[in-house]
Chains A and B, each alone.
Chain A
Amino acid sequence: MLDRSIALEGRGVGKVFGAGDLAVRALYPTDIQIRRGEVLVIMGPSGSGKTTLLSILGLVLTPSEGEVLVGGRDVSAATPDELAILRRDRVGFVFQQFNLLPSLSALENVAVPLLLAGAPRGERVARAARALDLVGMAGKQGATPRLLSGGQQQRVAIARALVNDAPVLLCDEPTASLDGRTGQGILATLRELATGEERAVVIVTHDDRVLPIADRLVHVIDGKVVDTLLQLQQGAP
């Protein structure tokens, strides 16, 4: 029976890079579920396989084994274009380096996923403005990334991840490039998106400051998910 509360699921997903004697196992077969409304934090040392796990869950890396289910649908057989559309509509990405297009304004950056989806201009502007408003950036619509601070750029990136109403947000080190106070603000926003908007939020990080907003914590060491700790939500920092 389909559990509609599960936004994203990996069943036995693992990854081996290379082949033969040069094969390197980056991730051992892993089962993982991400539920709507929860914040899942993935931690582990560099090279442990946490980004590989995030990439597989984000449909940008094909697992060597196992399957990924998006909204209960197995996407193993999806074509590259179908995966692109799933990423566009079902998954929002937040990157460590923000990855905004430098010549576009905040509003235009946020509207890029809508543009790729073929939305008309009026709809793009209205929805991008709403997404910016949601992350507290309503007053910076026309600013290009170089005029924004790191924290503001990350908020714009979060707005871009939200604009298509994707049920899943995958965040790769979202606070790594930010100072402590700004990082706390971003984490508060992510927590609010999980609680208030019923989004599933996955955060890969080294940063212990993330723990207070986590519902669950997963440790990945040497390609293995070594423990899955349930935590009580402690509220936004």
Chain B
Amino acid sequence: MMQRQMGELLRLGSLALRMLFDAPYKSLGTLVGVIISVFLMAQQASLLLGILGRVTSFVDASGVDIWITSLATESTDATGSLPASKVGAVAGTPGVAWAAPVVQGQGKVTRPDGVQENVKVLGVEPPRYAGLPRTLGPGTTAEALRGSGRIFLNWSDRQTFADAQPGDRIEINGRAGVVAGFFQGVNPHNPFYYVFANIDDARALAGFPQDRVTYIAVGIVPGERVQDVQARLEARIPDALVKTRAELRAMEKRFFLVRTPVGVLFGMGTVVAALIGAAIVAVTLYSTAVDRARDYGTLKAIGARQRQILQLLMLQAWIFFAAGYLVGITVFFLVRFHFPELAMATPPRLVVGVAAAAFASCTLASLVAVRRVLLFDPAIVFRA
């Protein structure tokens, strides 16, 4: 049964394709519309995913299992603080392998050209350096932070700081920090540079109180369920926010999407791109169908069943989808390849999602033409 239907679809597929060549300019217009729609959908969604990935890059890069912070904290861009004394209570909780304080302060960093920009100074505690990205720059070890006044710079910020090398001095809040190495994997989408220092230097650079911490980073005992440990921590320190890495990541995204117009902008862009594609396909297929009323009437008169007419039009819409998607997504990847600095993420779900959206928009758009053609009276063929 299935095989027979596939056979019929294939037979009609060749007819559907050939009929598209009867109106080459309209078909080309439809194809260009689908290509633009696919490209825009992919580009908008990719930028959104890329930016969201950057928003959570600090959380993702650290490898910490559980983050504890103030109840007032909304995201890593809007943090409160906790008493440093909580670290001991956390460390003593069953299931916790280790707990380490992390401080986060802000200030101004002076670029080599004299311009001052915002910087986030993160302080991590030796010997574990919890909170420090797991991927460090070439030749950098965490131990390089142990000496006084040392900082790690983001590997991707080297150019801004005149191709900074270990030993170079960088001014933060009027104090000098010595570049001791580099970290990687943190490319935040906010107007801050990130630097890491040991916790005492970070407090000094950012003017952060000695008796407070921004986060307590927690590693759990192997074999423990993270949710179980989280529940115990919540019970032990109810006046703090206890988040798993995944929860903090979700919180970061939510904060970003709600507090900035980026989510709406790119989300709407993706939807509008899909709608534009659907509208172009709908209008051109409909107009082609009306222009070709006599051809469809002829097909009906010589024996095409309604189902076959439906299949014919659907196949035409799917031909536009297949060709348009192939070209559109290729152009998108070419752009992505040529502009690697853009915050574009291309996970497999993006490729599949855009395909599904383009398929749905072409299919739905074809229904307008399908409805019109199914209503054609085959007797139209006898009218001059």
Contacts and interface: CB of A to CB of B under 8 A. Distances in A.
Contacts of A54: 382
Contacts of B294: 97, 99
Given A54-B382, A61-B379, A172-B382, A112 B295 contact: no
B250 interface: no
Interface in B82-116: none
Contacts of B308: 116
B12 A93 contact: no
A63 interface: no
B298 interface: yes
B381 interface: yes
A170 to B, nearest CB: 9
Nearest to A89: B303
B303 A113 contact: yes
A21 interface: no
Interface residues of A, number: 34
Contacts of B8: 118
Interface stretch (B15-23, B128-136, B171-179, B268-276): B15-23
Contacts of B303: 84-85, 87-89, 113, 116-117, 164
Contacts of A160: 302
A99 B18 contact: no
A233 interface: no
B249 interface: no
B287 interface: no
Q: Across the A-B interface, give the 3 residue pairs with the lowest CB-CB distance, nearest first.
A: A88-B303, A60-B378, A99-B298
Contacts of B384: 96-97
5 contacts: A84-B305, A93-B298, A95-B382, A103-B18, A118-B8
B302 A112 contact: yes
A14 B294 CA distance: 25
Contacts of B300: 60, 84
B301 interface: yes
B15 A60 contact: no
B372 interface: no
A89 B305 CA distance: 12
Contacts of A87: 301-303, 378
B328 to A, nearest CB: 25
A183 B214 CA distance: 95
Contact of B305 (A51, A85, A95): A85
Nearest to A86: B303
A115 interface: yes
A101 B18 contact: yes
Nearest to A84: B305
B288 to A, nearest CB: 13
Interface string B19-30: 101100000000
Interface string A96-127: 11010111100010001101111000000000
Most chain B CB within 10 A, of A84, A92, A95, A102, is at A84
B381 A99 contact: yes
Nearest to B18: A103
Interface string B192-222: 0000000000000000000000000000000
Interface string A44-80: 0000000100110010110000000000000000001
B11 interface: yes
B71 interface: no
Nearest to B20: A103
Most chain B CB within 10 A, of A58, A85, A92, is at A58
Contacts of A103: 18-19, 21-22
Given A54-B382, A99-B294, A115-B12, A108 B302 contact: no
B277 to A, nearest CB: 25
B299 A116 contact: yes
A113 B294 CA distance: 16
A113 B302 contact: yes
Interface string B294-326: 110011111111111000000000000000000
Contacts of A95: 298, 381-382
